[in-house]
Amino acid sequence: MISIKQIWENILIEIQAKVTALAYDSWITDLKPICIHNDSIVLICESKAKKSVVENRYSDIICESCKKILPNLSGVLFILPEEKEHFEQINEEPIDNVNSENIIIGEENNLFSPKCTFGNFIIGKSNEFAAAASKAVAQNPGIKYNPLFIYGGVGLGKTHLLNAIGNHIKKTKPKLKCLYTSCERFTNELIEALRGSRYNDEMKEFRKKYRSLDCLMIDDIQFISKTVSTQEELFHTFNDLYYQDKQIIICSDRPPQEIVPLEERLRTRFQGGVVADIVAPDLETRIAILQSEALTEKQNIDDEILKLIANKVPTNIREMKGVLTKIICFAQLTDKNVNDMDLINSALKEYNEDKAEIVDIDKIVDCVCRYYPNVTKADLIGKKKNKEIIEPRQMCVYLVTEFLSMPLLAIGQYFGGRDHTTIMYTRDKIAHLSQTEPKISAQIKDIKAMILGK
Ligand code: ADP
Ligand code: MG
């Protein structure tokens, strides 16, 4: 059964889209859902003053948003904390008639995004290990690959895989309790529970929720808060589940060793299972993803056009899919064929404009940083010598020598005062690797495409 909290979280997403950030933070975030009573959702307001503002200014928006998720709802009832008791006895009215289409990602009891399955996850070299490990986990949660740690840049399919695992488990082992949560949400809930003794044993509830799971997925763990209590709670949650052979899956935009600050004992735990990375997909995979998307959208788009799009956006699948969606929308709005070249060109305009830009050293550095999302310009021109930075730095130096006819001395100066022989050595090393290592040559190709805005 869907809980009132899950419903409310989805309603909040709707409200967020309709009010300003300030209004949302000031008036909406503190509201606490209690139950549904007489077709109204009952919300606690912290104080009389807040209640009057929310009632007067936001009740229509809240009501409207609620109806998106619960179409049969007739109203909203705002109460004060001291009135809560009256509603506790009637707490358990079942929540039905939920508009599941509008629920994006749910919590307990398996509300995963139906759009993200293994069936529509295209596998290429860039993600094959992560996909295989995810499938193994989905088939046998808690058995072999525990924990599973997936990392990779933005828009490369990590959250898709989490949802695919959730959907698979839900279908094949419906009794298992799976929960997808973001690191941020985990932390917020924890903070709320820690400070929330006002509303009865919230901490107990928090622990019960997380430690009774069969599969816990935490997305974007790089946002883990520094605070001792969060890391401590996560560590205990982890241990509790792990020693009961419950599955833990964690996603991040960087490998465990680069998550700062992360307590060493948590880092060791994350590294103790399977660590799988996802990198930017090669051209074939990108085209295959677009083909699959076009098929889903029932659009007959020429492969040449798909290739054109795949070439324009090499490092972020979300962005690439966005371009395709834009083309389809343009076509529908202007009543044109999706393969109309004028239409394609205008949809790709911002990507074409890049091309006219002059390539300079900043542009190259910028593209290298976009390609390796964990690396900053300061890293590239700085002194750090860890592998995660040396590789992008060498790549960057090589690309500068390829694109610009700058003297090696000047390049050395730009890259933190390095010697010109170091620059020469780096250039030759990468040039050699580009001949012998297909992975390196593919990376060079992709970054070059970004630099040229292809
Ligand atoms: P991340 O969590 O890594 O930032 P997402 O999982 O949100 O990325 O993926 C971004 C978008 O790209 C989603 O729409 C997702 O469905 C799609 N996507 C990513 N990888 C693939 C893939 N291999 N095949 C099909 N779609 C993909
Ligand atoms: Mg994600």
pLDDT tens-digit map of 157-199: 999 999 999 999 988 998 899 999 989 889 988 888 888 765 5
Task: Tell me what pLDDT residue 33 has.
Answer: 92
Task: Tell me what pLDDT residue 102 has.
Answer: 52
- Nearest ligand, CA of residue 121? 1
CA of 58 to the centre of ligand 1 (A): 35
For residue 285, being part of any structural domain is answered with no
CA of 155 to the centre of ligand 2 (A): 7
Task: Tell me what pLDDT residue 355 has.
Answer: 44
Alpha helix ranges (H) inside 100-227: 128-139, 158-172, 183-195, 202-211
Task: Tell me what pLDDT residue 109 has.
Answer: 40
Q: Tokens 């909406």 — which residue?
A: 28
CA of 294 to the centre of ligand 2 (A): 22
- Nearest ligand, CA of residue 289? 1
Select from 351, 369, 385 the last residue of a domain: 351
Task: Tell me what pLDDT residue 199 has.
Answer: 56
Q: Going by CA atoms, what residue is nearest to atom 9 of ligand 1?
A: 157
Same domain, 223 and 133: yes
Same domain, 166 and 249: yes
Euclidean distance between CA atoms 43 and 200, whole angstroms: 17
For residue 283, being part of any structural domain is answered with no
Question: Of all atoms in ligand 1, which is nearest to the CA of residue 120?
Answer: 25
CA of 10 to the centre of ligand 2 (A): 18
Same domain, 308 and 431: no
CATH number at 49 reads 3.30.300.180
**What does the H/E/C string look like for 33-102?**
EEEEECCEEEEECCCHHHHHHHHHHHHHHHHHHHHHHCCCCCEEEEECHHHHHHHHCCCCCCCCCCCHHH
Select from 278, 306, 329 the last residue of a domain: 278
For residue 376, is pLDDT > 60? yes
Select from 305, 329, 351 the last residue of a domain: 351
Same domain, 65 and 207: no
For residue 121, is pLDDT > 80? yes
For residue 351, is pLDDT > 90? no
Same domain, 84 and 183: no
- In contact, 156 and 279? CB cutoff 8 Å: yes
Binding pocket residue ranges, ligand 1, CB within 6 Å: 116, 120-122, 127, 152, 154-160, 289, 317-318, 321
Q: What is the pTM of this model?
A: 0.61
Q: Give the containing element (helix H, strand E) for 277.
A: strand 274-278
Task: Tell me what pLDDT residue 394 has.
Answer: 96
Q: In a mutational test of the pocket of ligand 1, which residue from 156, 253, 313 has the highest number of ligand atoms less than 8 Å from its CB?
A: 156
For residue 436, is pLDDT > 70? yes
Q: Tokens 């290592």 — which residue?
A: 437
CA of 194 to the centre of ligand 2 (A): 27
Q: Going by CA atoms, what residue is nearest to atom 23 of ligand 1?
A: 122
Half-sphere exposure of 44 (CA within 13 A, CB side): 19
Task: Tell me what pLDDT residue 73 has.
Answer: 85
Question: Of all atoms in ligand 1, which is nearest to the CA of residue 220?
Answer: 2
β-strands 40-44, 148-152 pairing: unpaired
Task: Tell me what pLDDT residue 166 has.
Answer: 94
Query: Per-residue pLDDT tens for 409-429?
Result: 889 999 999 998 999 999 999
The total domain count for the chain is 4
Q: Going by CA atoms, what residue is nearest to atom 6 of ligand 1?
A: 157
Q: Going by CA atoms, what residue is nearest to atom 18 of ligand 1?
A: 157
